[in-house]
C-alpha cells in the first residue's frame, strides 16, 4: 500500500472538493488517499478520502489573528497537516525549529504531521543537498514521537516546475532519510516523494526503494490527473 497525498495549495472550492470526493469514491485501489485542502474546505464530507490541512499555527491559542491551531484543525475531523512545505518556508520564513513546533502541536492534537524537507536550487548547486535533507529531518521532527508522522522529500527547485530529480537522486535522498529516521528510532516512518509528480512518472517514482508514496500538487486538482496517480501502483 502506498500513500497518495494531494496538496491543493490555494486552489479549489468546496464544490470542487465535493466533486473530487465523488470521483474518488469509485476508484478501485488499496492505496491511502489524503487530500490537504485550504482551511475553508476542512470539515467537508470526504468519504474514503482522509482530509488534511496545509499548515498550522505554531501557537496553541490566543491573540494570533488569522492563524488556525492544531486543535481547531482536529475539531473539523481532519487527520493530517502538512508542515514545513517549501512555500511556507519561503513565504512565511518557517525554519526547521518552527516546523518542529508545528509538528509537536499537530501530534499533541491527534493529527499526523506530513513534515516536508528538501533543498533549494542554490543548495543543490552548492553540493549541500544531503546535508540539508539530513538536518531538515533531524531538526524538524519532534523528539519522543512514535512513528505517527510522515516525511515528504520535496526538492524545492522541482516543485511546480515540471522538473524531477533522476531516479538515482531520489533513491539517494530517500535512503538517507530512511537511515536518519532509523538512527532517530523512527524506522518504518513513511517517506513520500513530492515535486512534479504526474500520472506518467508516478509508478516509476514509487518503485524506487524507500519511496512510500507521493505528495502531489498541481496534478491533484483534477480527478483526470489525480486518479491515474492513485491507480498507477497497487
Ligand atoms: P507539484 O507540487 O506537484 O505541483 O510540483 C508539489 C507540492 O508542492 O507539494
Predicted confidence (pLDDT) per residue in 176-207, tens digit: 999 999 999 999 999 999 999 999 999 999 99
Mean pLDDT, rounded, of the chain: 97
- List the domain boundaries for the chain: 3-230
Measure 127 CA to ligand 1 centroid, in angstroms: 23
Atom of ligand 1 nearest to the CA of 196: 5
- pLDDT value for 146: 75
Question: What secondary structure does DSSP assign to 76-139, as a single string?
Answer: TT--EEEES-HHHHHHS---HHHHHHHHHHHHHTTPEEEEEE---HHHHHTT-HHHHHHHHHHH
Angle at 149 between CA 4 and CA 26, to 5 degrees: 25
- pLDDT value for 151: 98
Q: Is 165 in the pocket of ligand 1 (CB under 6 A)?
A: no
**Which backbone phi and psi does 56 adopt, to 5 degrees?**
-150, 150
Ligand 1 atom 6: residue of nearest CA: 217
Q: Is 36 in the pocket of ligand 1 (CB under 6 A)?
A: no
Confidence band, pLDDT 50/70/90 cuts, at residue 128: very high
Measure 63 CA to ligand 1 centroid, in angstroms: 32
By annotation, the residues acting in catalysis are: 85, 154
- pLDDT value for 227: 98
**Which backbone phi and psi does 130 adopt, to 5 degrees?**
-65, -40
Ligand 1 atom 3: residue of nearest CA: 217
Confidence band, pLDDT 50/70/90 cuts, at residue 234: confident
Q: Is 88 in the pocket of ligand 1 (CB under 6 A)?
A: no
pLDDT over threshold 90, residue 142: yes
- pLDDT value for 6: 98
Q: CATH fold of 3-230, please?
A: TIM Barrel (3.20.20)
Alpha helices, DSSP H only, in the chain? 14-25, 70-75, 86-91, 96-108, 121-125, 129-140, 167-183, 199-206, 223-230
Over range 5-20, report the average pLDDT. 98
- pLDDT value for 120: 97
Q: Is 218 in the pocket of ligand 1 (CB under 6 A)?
A: yes
pLDDT over threshold 80, residue 164: yes
Ligand 1 atom 9: residue of nearest CA: 217
pLDDT over threshold 90, residue 228: yes
- pLDDT value for 153: 98
pLDDT over threshold 80, residue 38: yes
**Which backbone phi and psi does 51 adopt, to 5 degrees?**
-110, 145
What pTM value is reported for the model? 0.98
Amino acid at each position: 500500500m502506498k500513500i497518495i497525498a494531494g496538496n491543493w495549495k490555494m486552489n479549489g472550492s468546496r464544490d470542487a472538493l465535493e466533486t473530487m470526493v465523488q470521483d474518488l469514491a469509485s476508484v478501485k485501489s488499496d492505496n491511502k488517499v489524503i487530500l490537504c485542502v485550504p482551511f475553508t474546505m476542512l470539515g467537508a464530507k470526504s468519504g474514503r478520502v482522509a482530509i488534511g490541512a496545509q499548515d498550522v499555527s505554531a501557537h496553541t491559542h490566543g491573540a494570533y489573528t488569522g492563524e488556525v491551531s492544531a486543535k481547531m484543525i482536529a475539531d473539523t475531523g481532519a487527520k493530517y497537516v502538512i508542515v514545513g512545505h517549501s512555500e511556507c518556508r519561503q513565504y512565511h520564513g518557517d525554519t526547521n525549529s518552527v516546523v518542529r513546533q508545528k509538528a509537536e502541536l499537530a501530534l499533541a492534537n491527534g493529527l499526523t504531521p506530513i513534515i516536508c524537507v528538501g533543498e533549494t536550487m542554490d543548495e543543490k548547486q552548492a553540493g549541500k543537498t544531503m546535508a540539508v535533507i539530513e538536518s531538515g529531518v533531524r531538526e524538524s521532527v519532534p523528539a519522543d514521537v512514535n512513528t505517527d508522522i510522515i516525511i515528504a522529500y520535496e526538492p524545492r527547485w522541482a516543485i511546480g516546475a515540471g522538473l524531477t530529480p533522476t531516479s538515482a537522486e531520489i533513491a539517494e535522498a530517500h535512503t538517507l532519510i530512511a537511515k536518519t529516521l532509523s538512527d532517530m528510532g523512527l524506522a518504518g516512518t513513511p517517506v513520500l516523494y513530492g515535486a512534479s509528480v504526474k500520472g506518467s512518472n508516478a509508478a516509476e517514482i514509487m518503485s524506487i526503494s524507500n519511496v512510500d508514496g507521493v505528495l502531489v500538487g498541481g496534478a491533484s486538482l483534477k480527478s483526470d490527473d489525480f486518479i491515474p496517480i492513485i491507480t498507477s501502483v497497487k
